Amino acid sequence: MMLWHAKTRLAVTVCSIASALLGGCATSTLIHKGDQVYTQTTKITLVEDTVVAFGRPAQTVASLPSDSLVIAGQKNSYVLTQGGTQFVTLINKLDPANIQITQALSFYSEKNDGHFSGKLPLTYVKLQEDISKKDLEFFIANGAEECSTSSDKRMNAQRFCFNINLAGVVYPVASNLSALKPLSKPYQVSIYTRKEQSYKTKSSLNPFEKLVLLPFAVAIDVVALPFVVAEKIFD
């Protein structure tokens, strides 16, 4: 829902909190020589997918770092070239019973060119009496922030928040997807972009856009990591 309000030769910015949360936002209305020119920025979902497994490329790919992590989806493979190593370190180091990942993975692709970036919010909660100096040093080294809730404090617990910066490229669906053991509980991943359009009169934007894969990208085999820890987290 958009609200337009303009006066002659004025630039007005309109963006309600509700519309911002939904992704659609009328960013500006320009008045020039009596003609109304509107600029609208809209969030467009390019793909919504379900994660099947986490793994590594089975073969060496010259264009990818050797420590790349693959999020194998039902529609595409999302190869993390940044942040994957920290993600693996955290879930292997921390007690999976105390890790919480409550948000789906949502990545942004500015140009819809196969590249994406985003954050993975992960929280870790533990009784204060069980937190050691070594734990605190690990939290600090990995950029954790103290984010205890009032409920945590009432239970004498302490919560730490990690926001892992992720970036990567999209590849076709893994060629050996059927051989990978899927997570027992669906976990969602999506990629979106933003589209800006100027027009003098009302016109609708096409909400249907397709995710563009990297040129010359071919399907890769994925070797699933022994993610007993990850399965506990996502399941």
Tens of pLDDT along 126-157? 999 999 999 999 999 999 999 999 999 999 99
Q: pTM for this one? A: 0.74
Residue 230's pLDDT is 58
When the pLDDT of each residue in the chain is averaged and rounded to a whole number, the result is: 80
- Determine contact, residues 77/54, Cβ cutoff 8 Å: no
Element (H, E) at 230: helix 228-234
Between residues 52 and 104, the one the model is more confident about:
52
d(CA 125, CA 159) in angstroms, rounded, equals 4
Strands (E), the chain: 11-12, 24-32, 35-57, 69-73, 76-82, 99-100, 105-108, 115-127, 145-146, 157-172, 187-199, 222-224
Higher per-residue pLDDT: 154 or 101: 154
Q: What is the pLDDT of residue 99?
A: 87
CA distance 159 to 157: 7
Least confident of 12-21, 66-75, 100-109, 185-194: 12-21
The pLDDT, as a whole number, for residue 144 is 93
Give per-residue pLDDT as tens, 153-202. 999 999 999 999 999 999 999 999 999 888 877 789 999 999 877 766 55
CA–CA separation, 53 and 73 (whole Å)? 7
Residue 235's nearest CA partner among 129, 136, 91 is 91
Q: What is the pLDDT of residue 66?
A: 85
